[in-house]
A = this chain, B = another copy of it.
Amino acid sequence: MDKSKKISTAVIRRLPKYYRYLGELSKIGISRTSSKELSDMTGFTASQIRQDLNNFGGFGQQGFGYDVSNLRNEIGKILGLDRKYKIIIVGAGNIGQAIANYTGFYEEGYDVVALFDKNPKLIGLSIRDKTIQDIDDLDDFLELNEVNIAVLCTPKSVSQKIADKLIKGGIKAIWNFAPTDIKLPKDIVLENVHLNESLFALTYYYKNKIIND
């Protein structure tokens, strides 16, 4: 991979889809595929797919298509899935617990090493063998343990404060589920999952395409 080349966000967003579909092909025993077949699966055009994969040096052979498991491994490497990541979940309410319980992440090498909350009713409960810890112990935990990614599932009223705490503790990547935007230094990586916004967009299309028809 040519590191000097800047890969666009749109390409990065498509790579996980290729990765997932290649996994599905692999599971049903298919070992070779084509940009045409990937196009049928993903809905992206075949030329778009070839162009995307060319960003990283190609992988395909004219007339032979792609080796499914090789291509999946290569995309996995590009995404960084060829190593393990230690995750903490801050805010162990509904969403936080759902994420801790989601087995799909464990399969891909993500390991939830701790959960934190300030609610005394939650502190001490176990989620998949991890005890929910007091949020007051977060600083100490971060000092003593390596953590790669923090999942932020707090109410929005405290999310900025907690995010600041995480950064201070050395966290460089935040996956934010709090329904608000948080301001972070430029060297921190942030990915938002704003469920409300997703539901509102669905509602817009529902109202305009279906109800108004």
Contacts and interface: CB of A to CB of B under 8 A. Distances in A.
Interface string A43-73: 1000000000000000000000000000000
Interface of A: 3, 12-13, 15-17, 19-20, 24, 41-43, 78-81, 85, 93-95, 97-99, 101-102, 104-105, 108, 110, 148-149, 172-173, 175, 179-181, 187, 189-191, 193-212
Q: Which 3 A-B pairs have the closest CB atoms?
A: A80-B207, A94-B98, A191-B202
**Can you tell how many copies of this chain the complex includes?**
2
A179 B98 contact: no
A85 B210 CA distance: 13
Contacts of A210: 172-173, 187, 189
A43 to B, nearest CB: 7
B173 A208 contact: no
Contacts of A101: 93-94
Interface centre among A20, A78, A108, A202 (most CB of B within 10 A): A202
Given A99-B195, A110-B199, 20 more contacts: A15-B200, A16-B194, A16-B200, A17-B194, A20-B179, A41-B181, A79-B200, A79-B207, A80-B208, A85-B206, A93-B101, A94-B98, A94-B102, A149-B206, A172-B206, A173-B205, A175-B199, A189-B210, A191-B201, A191-B205
Contacts of A208: 80
Contacts of A85: 203, 206
A149 B200 CA distance: 12
